[in-house]
A and B are shown apart, each in its own frame.
Chain A
Amino acid sequence: MSAFLEITEVGKRFNGTTVLDDVNLTVDKGETVVLLGPSGAGKSTLLRCVNMLERIDGGRIVLDGEELGWRESNGVMRELSGRAEARQRQEIGMVFQSFNLFAHMTVLQNVVEAPVGVLRRPKREVIEEAHELLKQVGLDHKADAYPAQLSGGQQQRVAIARSLAMHPKLMLFDEPTSALDPELVSEVLDAIKHLAVTGITMLVVTHEIGFAREVSDRFVFMENGRVVETGLSRRLTVEGAENARTRDFLSKVL
């Protein structure tokens, strides 16, 4: 049996330092998995490898039966061309810690840019859908504002809408609320919560354990580039966790 997203024995080194060490992780279709772990554990690197923003040094990542970043031909693995890589990324949404909205475009233009420019969908249809997506994150009234005129929480909600406009198979979130003032965290978490129930597949890096317990199905705990423990998210309590390292981490963040 194979999962929707299969990360198998993935390794990654930066200048000789091992950052990901033989990482195995699966996410089923429609599942929400949270990735936990102390700073420097390699969580961001793992997400970036899935999205091919970093090239893996070993192992493989398969999404919905398709190997990411490489293709097999005549018994050898060949790295994909930039264009083929870009095509695979169309199906993977990514939300960054620092939002990364296009600063020179309005909110609406941010959402519309890729579906029109990359997928070549009709502009009118995409604009209509963009307004719909912005409504879902409660920001349609800001459609003509520029990112600099929005709060961090609003920017992050636009970034979520922008990703969804591509109808991705998989959504990756890298600490989507870590750059936000405390009072803005819940509006972004709420937006992600709404997504979880739509049945989209999500892999979320977060330090919000309460949110993780409520929204996700499973957790994966990483440390020093290795997966230390995986389990059901309702076990995300100091007593519930099995591994001593996980328990130690949870006792610090809870």
Chain B
Amino acid sequence: MDFTFSDEQRMMAEVARDMLVTECSSAAMRHQMKSGVARDDVRWAKICGMGLPGVLALEASGGLGLAETDFVLIAEACGYTALPEPLVEHAGVALPLLVEAGGETSLLGRTTSGEATIAVGHPANPFVSEADTAEALLLAHRGEVHLVETRNVGLVRQESIDPFRRLFRVEWAPTSTTRIAPAAEGDVLWTRTLDRGALFAAAQCLGLAQRAVDLATDYAKERQQFGKPIGSTQAIKHLLSTVQVKIEFAKPVVHAAAAELSARSAYASPRISQAKLAASEAADLAARTAVQVHGAMGYSWEVDVHFFLKRSLALTHTWGTPAFHRARVAQRIFEGPLGPDHTFIRESANA
């Protein structure tokens, strides 16, 4: 039993986070939003320079060959900065599926380096995010996995409240040549894909939540009313500490979920669902609280709080709605073994 991240894991995430914080400055985000470009090439080049697109990809194709536990803190950093580029979906979800479904080598190489990206259309998500900038899409058809070049599909843009999310309905026709995994394998692959999607959405929510609290805390120290910082009132202190409690008790659930998934444990799916619920609730409360602490400023376009509010809202309902995840938790509770000796999987239970 060792519930800590290794020094390497923490260092890699720290370096990634520092880079993302610099690259996703308020000015940069606002410039990108105004110009409407999907991807900031300089930022994406830095992301690729650190090898982040290939964290979970095979070493044989140039990846780092690491596991979900190694990516979870990086996904948090992507939430913390409300990163517009699809690093999490590409590196954390799409590429692992491509690897597992047996994608062809040249595409694996280019997507591992980040030169090209791929996007996933999971049945849980009616819309595919960042599909237009992807070179190819992994799509589901009756449990099968299909790999389709983006130029061969129709994309119908669905405007999201999140200015950085590019959602599309994908119109396409499956053929025998697009199929890369049959339904017999697909079922497991799609479930694991949903698990990864939900896990890393939860991790992003943790980051979003902490950023909302940090923004509000900074503001509460500066903003004076009644001759003192608003942060000196108990009302504001309690609002923010209530959120911090929520974050602190979502965090270990997300981290344990990452470890369970890395270990391919039978407890992974319900733990991921719990993590997604806890982290998205924390992000939702954090973002609303940050608006409240900022007063009318928080309701304006000028402060960045709304970026985090809108991303939280979007992520709450992607990769499984709260109702979906509650159902999976219910299954764990009512059909699985209970008691303090069943928090962690036992070797015997891991089929």
To the question of whether A and B form a pair in one complex, the answer is: no
